[in-house]
Structure formats: structure tokens, C-alpha cells
Amino acid sequence: MLGRFFNHQKETQAVDVKTDVPVHVAVIMDGNGRWALKRGLPRNIGHREGMKTIHSITESANDIGVQVLTLFAFSSENWLRPKTEIDFILRLPERFLSSELPKLQANNVQVRVMGAVEDLPSHTKKAVETVMHETADNDGIILNLALNYGGRSDIVQALKLLGSDIEQGRCQIEDITEDMISDKLYTSDFPDPDLLIRTSGEIRLSNFMLWQMAYSEFWFTDVLWPDFSTEDFAEAISVFQQRKRRYGGV
Ligand code: IPE
Ligand code: IPE
Ligand code: MG
């Protein structure tokens, strides 16, 4: 894990200590399609609107002092959608790059991407590589976009890396620890999410960060992602701050 983060989990292990600002917030941005359908519009318009929310929530998270904001943008199961919708979603990183890059720079945001990026179309890959490269030296909030991401496949790719270490004699099976698995996940640079937000009223994980959410606090809202406001985000943070995290203690 990078030295730049506070290890919130360790700092807040004492019982009854009110947690402060979450270091890492993860969001399942859901409800774009329903937002559009409610207005008699094509689903893709919902995805376009949802991109505006990404901008406002990143700014808000930055202002609040969140250090990592991970957004679920495209899951490894979203390939099941109609091709026209997939194509539209996978063009969004290019739009994001052209419309958001100056603002990301001005706000000192570092963009990262996690998931099976190698399987994305080359135009999507190019856009995400460019935005990561252009923002690599920024040391403000990390905007971590989960693209072609699945929690189970994250664990599978981690186990393959670990298996290769064993095969090469770099470690022994009996020496495997939880930290060694965490260090092979896409999120190896970040602390586990303190808070998970899911919009649109669905109460499930949909294969998001399964390993990493062992002790995350969950907050759900019926608000659809394109309508999700900075006030809604502030409410989630405030609810988080009332929670008592016990990590199995009393
Ligand atoms: C979330 O919105 C965005 C992606 C999954 C890419 P949806 O497209 O899932 O919207 P609903 O859930 O159908 O309303
Ligand atoms: C989860 O939302 C994936 C993203 C937000 C990118 P989905 O809309 O794909 O999840 P399900 O299908 O309702 O579980
Ligand atoms: Mg959905």
C-alpha cells in the first residue's frame, strides 16, 4: 500500500471511537438507465447524464478530504447488455477525457483505472491510458475508475499472480497471508473502502470489490445516479460518521 494514506482501519480499531472522514469511498453508480426511461429517453442519455455526476461528486469528495474515490463504471457482467449500449458506455472515457481533463488538472485529481483493461476496445484503452498519464503527477484525490471490473475476477487474477510467485520459488504455500492476497488485487495501492454507496435502490454488491469490502460500511439510497447530488453525498458521509466500526471487537 502506498505510504500516502492514513491507515484508517488501524487508527479506528478502538471501540467507541467515532470514525472521521472516510479515506476510501467506493460507489456503485446505478440507475442511469431508469433515469432516462422515466423521462421517455434512451438509456444512453442516462449514461451521459451520469458522467456529470462523476464530476460533481469527485469535487465534493475532494473538498471533504476523501483520499480515494472508486467508482464502478462498467462491470465484467455488463457485456451482457445490448451492443449499442456497451459501445456507448465504452466511448464515455473519451468524452470524459476531452471534457474533464482541464478540471481534473485544476483540482489536482489523479485518475487510476482498475479491471481487465486489456480486454477493452483500443479506443477506450487509449483514453484511459492518456488520462492516467496526464494526471499521474497530481497528488490530490485519487479517482479510481473500475472498468471491466469484477470482484471475483479480481481475486482470480490475484491468485494467478500468487501462483506464479509460488511456481518461481518466490514464496511458499504455507507462508500465504491475507496481506499477500491484498497486495495482488487491483487495489493493492489503496486501503480497503471505508464506505460503499450504492444508488438506485438496489441492495446488492453486484460483484464489486468482494475481498476489499470485508469491513466496509454500506449506505444505500433510492436516488438514481444522474440525480445523486453533493447533498446526498454529504448525507452518506455524515451517516458514516455516526457508525461505530468494531471489526469484530466488542
Ligand atoms: C449504471 O446504470 C451504469 C452501468 C451499469 C454502466 P444502469 O445502466 O445499470 O442503470 P439501470 O440500473 O438500468 O437503471
Ligand atoms: C453494477 O450495476 C455495475 C455498475 C454500476 C457499473 P448493474 O446495474 O450492472 O448491476 P445489476 O445487474 O443490477 O446487479
Ligand atoms: Mg443497473
Among 116, 130, 128, 140, which residue's Cα sits nearest to residue 68?
140
Q: What is the pLDDT of residue 18?
A: 42
Residue 233 CB less than 6 A away from ligand 2:
no
Q: Are 79 and 128 in contact (CB under 8 A)?
A: no
Among 113, 108, 33, which residue's Cα sits nearest to residue 71?
113
**DSSP alpha helices (H): ranges in the chain?**
8-11, 32-38, 43-64, 83-106, 122-135, 151-167, 178-182, 230-242
Which residue owns the Cα nearest ligand 2 atom 12?
206
Annotated catalytic sites, by residue?
30, 78
Distance CA 163, CA 61 (A): 37
Q: What is the pLDDT of residue 205?
A: 98
Domain range annotation of the chain: 24-149+192-241, 151-185
Half-sphere exposure of 142 (CA within 13 A, CB side): 23
Per residue in 25-80, pLDDT (tens digit) is 999 999 999 999 999 999 999 999 999 999 999 999 999 999 999 999 999 999 99
Distance CA 116, CA 151 (A): 11
Pick the CATH number of 24-149+192-241 from 3.40.50.620, 3.40.1180.10, 3.30.479.30, 3.40.190.170: 3.40.1180.10
Residue 34 CB less than 6 A away from ligand 1:
yes
Which residue owns the Cα nearest ligand 1 atom 12?
31
Q: What is the pLDDT of residue 17?
A: 39
Distance 92 CA to ligand 2 centre (A): 17
Which residue owns the Cα nearest ligand 2 atom 8?
30
Q: 220: part of which helix (H) or strand (E)?
A: strand 217-220
Q: Which residues neighbour 183 within 8 Å (Cβ) at sequence distance 6 or greater?
A: none
Candidate from 37, 51, 75, 92 with most ligand 2 atoms within 8 A of CB, to mutate: 75
Q: What is the mean pLDDT of residues 99-127?
A: 96
Q: What is the pLDDT of residue 3?
A: 60
Q: What is the pLDDT of residue 5?
A: 77
